A and B are shown apart, each in its own frame.
Chain A
């Protein structure tokens, strides 16, 4: 037998949705499988396991990432936010509310990834990060429909809920802007 086939384990810590977990993981285990199988956080979905569909998108140390492409052992000490961590004290986030309002999903399987991705999109725009369709790279990006479509294109939806998703992100972006102005 190949020696490489014998499982190797490592102790790691992860802070997931604000709770610290100490885990013994197979060094081959993806962050996605670790969340789903070890921590029972099945909100993050496995659509392709190859970083091609975005259903597993989580916030990893504040940035969106495909959890299926991240080896858990490589993220010892990381802070992870999953779809289960988007609502606060039972109150849905503005994005979650807007996804319901605009029917930004049908089967719901890509939805956790869409929501985590969209949460990061709002943050990235807030930080002034341009996208491939931003014309003026030095100006603050405005999340119009073209920007939203571009920035959300890493998350596939086979049901074809994109129009609802774009409307939902647009609405949440406006709310965030308004909140920002108020603050």
Chain B
């Protein structure tokens, strides 16, 4: 159990984030956003801004340099007169100081031809279509047996529609890039990113550079939760601006502008049907999902994929339908797919438990499976049942009275709920080097990212174990694309994927050393692409169970989470201290999803109206009381050399359903539309 290696830097203010690296004579950018939801830019009037002392230039579609097209249309900054959503970046002012840039941005006037637009998701939109794949490469639809027939013939049925709103990641550090073109034509980016190598590759393509001519540095990153997993327009804007003024340029997206330009979780509408025997044994599972993307880029969240993993039933169907609206482009937000999908599935399972008169823990155990239902593959390990039993024991579930709405303490209605969690255990190809010095120290290098996950610390522990050395003799260098190429900190795959490359590099080094280090040191490298391709076919997933107790104020409808426990089965836990924090952090975001997080689309003007932290509520300290995470021992030889599954996302999966199920137990009211705000709940009490 180790403290974070960068702890001291973080508590003294010495840790430098993207905006904070000293640059010589930097200029500052401020962006202008479109004020129409759909249309064409007629003219950009920059004269007034350019007359302000200290303004260096104004960039827009009228003068921007040509960029190369890449798959993500969001990166085609100022390349077209077409406006795809309200809030899209349409111009930027570059100035001597941030105050001047921001003031001047107010003086840029843009004339548009505005067109009718549509920004509201609905399940009966005639333009809904079946995407070729859902994120990242799953089939949109799956089907086995006769799901409709089996559902119709089932003794107990649940047929309900659940909705989740648009939600914004809101990492505390805004999306930030400081860009500098060097004398030799190379580009250096200090970027707030979950993946330096990916930004390097993408930005090299955008600017038509060799990838070795772009260097991305991200030593400390102030959170991301998916929103920094792929480069956003800020990176391109900063690099373009730095080129235009011939000086380094710093650009941090203001919090308000993040809501349109840096991604969010799509709203979802989900119809979930469960058909079961009288004892709750499932016959049919049908999960149909409706969600949105922008007209710029197709992003199809994989919302129904956890339904392909969780429970046994011979008849089953999942389907995703997408509509392209005049909205900002959605993207990854912590456990895309699993998070909204498991809210629906685990709410439906709770409804089935009530309908069948079966305890909700027992219902899940009864429908457990030893093969992944969709693929038929065996699980590399699956300890959902152990999590449920361990959690029930620790939480004190045993003597729970299932009757809803009967426990009253003064004004408070009290109830408990449970939900399951799952997240895939991905493994991605990576490269790493390991180097030994004569003095007995080691340096391991990989372009991994520590966005607060504790990756730097975990990789150091992994390397030390592989090298059979004390951790204080091992230095792990990350956060720089000049290091060996690494996958993004995403998909809960960081530690597993980077760690595998680190272990292989260390093993190779030990083999080369053969007990001694020659003068000048010794280095070895690894590339895990081939190893990953050759793996046996297993269904690899982490599982968990979350238990929650809520109190609901019967007079105000306010829900408070009294206590919450998550028990997870995620392979070997590398660093207990930081792992517990990650699980709890995910669960905390789940409380936010359950009770407060909602981005409201304005149909009149076409953008998210609550675009700051006073109006988009995330959990504050007082919202989080007794919360804890634990894990069951799990040994899985089919994963990676560490035996570890990812833990960054599973904490949020199922958390909102656990809260919603507890609210039902407390009040007898089933809320199927998140978040469970007083405004939504009180009229039903």
Residues of A within 8 A of B (CB): 1-2, 5-7, 26, 28-29, 33, 36-37, 40-50, 52-53, 55, 82-84, 86-87, 92, 96, 99-101, 103, 105-112, 115, 145, 148-150, 152-166
A1/B52 in contact, CB under 8 A: yes
B13/A5 in contact, CB under 8 A: no
A99/B107 in contact, CB under 8 A: no
Chain A residue nearest to B95 in the complex (CB): A7
B580 contact set on A, CB distance < 8 A: 103
**B19 in the interface, Cβ–Cβ < 8 Å?**
yes
A110 contact set on B, CB distance < 8 A: 172
A109/B223 in contact, CB under 8 A: yes
Chain A residue nearest to B652 in the complex (CB): A160
* Contact among B10, B13, B22 for A105, CB-based, below 8 A: B10
B15 contact set on A, CB distance < 8 A: 108
Q: When A and B form their complex, which 8 residue pairs have the shortest distance between CB atoms, in order from nearest?
A: A43-B13, A107-B452, A109-B222, A160-B588, A108-B10, A160-B585, A106-B452, A83-B13
B12/A83 in contact, CB under 8 A: yes
B20/A42 in contact, CB under 8 A: yes
B584 contact set on A, CB distance < 8 A: 160, 163
* Contact among B172, B220, B451, B587 for A157, CB-based, below 8 A: B172
Chain B residue nearest to A169 in the complex (CB): B621
* Contact among A1, A107, A154, A156 for B173, CB-based, below 8 A: A107
A-B contact count (CB 8 A): 196
Flag B558-586 by CB within 8 Å of A: 1 or 0 each: 00000000000000000001101110111
B61-69, B352-360, B521-529, B622-630: which lies at the A interface? B622-630
Chain B residue nearest to A150 in the complex (CB): B622
Q: Report if A106-B99 is in contact (Cβ < 8 Å); known contacts: A7-B53, A111-B10, A156-B613.
A: no
Cβ of B674 to closest chain A Cβ, rounded Å: 18
A108/B8 in contact, CB under 8 A: no
B621/A6 in contact, CB under 8 A: no
**B633 in the interface, Cβ–Cβ < 8 Å?**
no
A158/B225 in contact, CB under 8 A: yes
Chain A residue nearest to B581 in the complex (CB): A103
Cβ of A118 to closest chain B Cβ, rounded Å: 10
Q: List 26 A-B contacts (CB under 8 A).
A: A1-B51, A2-B48, A2-B107, A5-B107, A7-B53, A7-B54, A26-B97, A40-B22, A42-B13, A43-B12, A45-B172, A52-B612, A52-B614, A84-B12, A96-B11, A103-B578, A107-B451, A107-B452, A108-B9, A108-B220, A108-B222, A109-B17, A111-B10, A145-B625, A161-B585, A162-B621
A107–B452 alpha-carbon span in the complex (Å): 3
A100–B256 alpha-carbon span in the complex (Å): 32
A26/B171 in contact, CB under 8 A: no
A86 contact set on B, CB distance < 8 A: 11-12
* Contact among A6, A36, A50, A82 for B255, CB-based, below 8 A: A50
A163/B452 in contact, CB under 8 A: no
Main secondary structure of the interface of B (DSSP, over half): loop
B10 contact set on A, CB distance < 8 A: 105, 108, 111
* Contact among B98, B174, B255, B586 for A160, CB-based, below 8 A: B586
B170/A158 in contact, CB under 8 A: yes
B98/A155 in contact, CB under 8 A: no
Chain A residue nearest to B616 in the complex (CB): A52
**B103 in the interface, Cβ–Cβ < 8 Å?**
yes
Chain B residue nearest to A168 in the complex (CB): B11
Q: Report if A33-B223 is in contact (Cβ < 8 Å); known contacts: A106-B453, A107-B452, A162-B588.
A: no
A6 contact set on B, CB distance < 8 A: 52-53
A62–B174 alpha-carbon span in the complex (Å): 28
A153/B622 in contact, CB under 8 A: yes
Among A44, A55, A105, A106: residue with most chain B CB under 10 A: A106
Flag B320-342 by CB within 8 Å of A: 1 or 0 each: 00000000000000000000000
B256 contact set on A, CB distance < 8 A: 50
Main secondary structure of the interface of A (DSSP, over half): loop
B622/A159 in contact, CB under 8 A: no
- Interface contacts beyond A42-B17, A107-B223, A155-B621: sample of 18 additional A-B pairs, CB < 8 Å, sorted by A: A1-B52, A1-B107, A37-B98, A41-B13, A45-B222, A47-B222, A48-B613, A49-B254, A55-B172, A82-B13, A105-B10, A108-B9, A153-B621, A158-B170, A160-B581, A160-B586, A160-B619, A162-B621
A5/B612 in contact, CB under 8 A: no
A166–B620 alpha-carbon span in the complex (Å): 12
Residues of B within 8 A of A (CB): 3-4, 6-17, 19-20, 22, 48, 51-54, 97-100, 103-104, 107, 170-174, 220-223, 225, 252, 254-256, 451-454, 577-578, 580-582, 584-589, 612-614, 618-622, 624-625, 627-628
A109–B223 alpha-carbon span in the complex (Å): 8
Q: Report if A47-B588 is in contact (Cβ < 8 Å); known contacts: A5-B103, A103-B4, A160-B619.
A: no
Cβ of A57 to closest chain B Cβ, rounded Å: 12
Among B12, B100, B256, B589: residue with most chain A CB under 10 A: B12
Cβ of B395 to closest chain A Cβ, rounded Å: 17
Chain B residue nearest to A4 in the complex (CB): B103
B7 contact set on A, CB distance < 8 A: 99-100
Q: Report if A7-B577 is in contact (Cβ < 8 Å); known contacts: A48-B612, A100-B3, A108-B452.
A: no
A108/B619 in contact, CB under 8 A: no
A165/B621 in contact, CB under 8 A: yes
A46/B48 in contact, CB under 8 A: no
A161 contact set on B, CB distance < 8 A: 581, 585
A99 contact set on B, CB distance < 8 A: 7, 11
A4–B596 alpha-carbon span in the complex (Å): 40
Q: Report if A92-B11 is in contact (Cβ < 8 Å); known contacts: A156-B620, A162-B621.
A: yes
Cβ of A111 to closest chain B Cβ, rounded Å: 5
B98 contact set on A, CB distance < 8 A: 33, 37
Chain A residue nearest to B52 in the complex (CB): A5
A92/B621 in contact, CB under 8 A: no
* Contact among A33, A50, A92, A164 for B612, CB-based, below 8 A: A50
A111–B48 alpha-carbon span in the complex (Å): 40
A100–B577 alpha-carbon span in the complex (Å): 11
Cβ of B61 to closest chain A Cβ, rounded Å: 23
* Contact among A40, A109, A163 for B627, CB-based, below 8 A: A163
